[in-house]
Amino acid sequence: MTADELTVAGRRFRTRADYEAALRDQKKIERIKAETDLDNPKQIYELLKDLQSGSYRFETIVGRDFDDEIYEKAEALKKQGITPENAAKTVKAYKKKKEKRSKKKEYSVNLSDYDKDMQKQILIELRKQEKRRKLIVVLSSLVAVLCFGYFGVYYFFAARTSMDYEQLSDLKGSDALSETQEKNDFSLHKSSVKLPDILDEYKTLYSKNKRLIGWLKIDDTNIDYPVMQTENNEYYLDHNFNQEYDKNGSLFLDCDCNVYPRSTNMIIYGHHMKSGSMFGNLQQYAKESYGKKHSVIEFDTIYEKATYQVMYVFRSQVYNEDDVVFKYYQFIEANSEEEFNFCMKEMASMSLYDTGVTANFGDSLLTLSTCDSSRTDGRFVVVAKRIK
């Protein structure tokens, strides 16, 4: 089979394995569509919820296209005032209105029933209505072209990411490229400390991009991504693992953090994407029940594995440089027990609920940070303590 034949749903794949994975995704999507009424707002919202929670897992960009399609349908419903809360009621009202409209008697107007002057006025009015109709059609067509143009650009950038995160996850533990890179030859922070060997699980991924610094995973969520790090906190705001432009960006570790030896607090940033990707669902930790159910976080560096337990969940913001206030994003190293305890006290006071988890000087911490639209320059933050 030639490369041109390795096409599924308008997407071309480079390898037979990727092509077969896309066929599996397409078959899964067809089954979902057969079981779901995509004209029913309630079912659209239920399907979106299942997609964002990870109930359906896709292997290729074909699945991501379907995920985007359902998200766009939900956004269109919201613009019409149809929300997940009133979706069921809206469907009933629509059906009732449709039935009522179908019961109305149809009637026709015969011009011969009127005199010549009235006939002339009716024809003039009909011509005006036809002109208005054509104008509306033209304007609607222009709006449609602009919308398709926008979505075309959106999907163009999405397509540039040749390997989605499901495929990257499959490379964990693979030794396909590891023989070419046995040792870590990149260190963001120059140090006289001898770096340990990279874990076998991450050698292949590291060989593909030496900015890889670890992997973050939270069970029963969509958070299952590589974590990058570079000399600044800007590059991975709009670049993916393959170093291509991507508005989703990547999860990345604060440039001032060290993974070996570990900084006291390692801070990972990610976008709050409306589609739910990256840290799009992190704010669900605002609910205590969700926090308890997802209290364990796995963050491996390329050198060692580690597990953390959620300790604090709070909202904050990026402050002005001269503001005298606790700034969680500046807490990376605790130089004394007094400084550590002060930071713990500040975060505990801001926490939305009490998890019962505390930390002592010498413990290692992990902070997940994303944007929060509830305030200017807002941030939503989850802080966890290493437990193993």
The domain limits of the chain are: 3-79, 108-159, 165-386
User: How far apart are alpha carbons 285 and 381 in whole angstroms?
Assistant: 9
Pick the closest to residue 255 from 273, 240, 237 (CA basis). 237
User: Which among 16, 36, 20, 28 is positioned nearest to 57, based on CA atoms?
Assistant: 28
Residue 377 neighbours by CB under 8 Å, 6+ apart: 317, 318
Return the pLDDT at 311: 98
Considering the domain 165-386 in this protein, what is its CATH number?
A: 2.40.260.10
Backbone angles phi, psi at 270, to 5 degrees: -160, 150
| Overall pTM > 0.75 | no
Q: What is the pLDDT of residue 160?
A: 45
Task: Calculate the CA dihedral of residues 139, 140, 143, 149 and round it to 10 degrees.
Answer: -120
Low-confidence ranges of the chain (pLDDT < 50): 104-107, 154, 158-163, 177, 179-185, 190
pLDDT of residue 51: 84
- Residue 187, pLDDT score: 52
Q: How many CB atoms lie within 10 A of CB 90?
A: 17
Measured at the alpha carbon of residue 218, what is the angle toward residues 217 and 223, in degrees to the nearest 5? 65
> DSSP letter at 259?
B
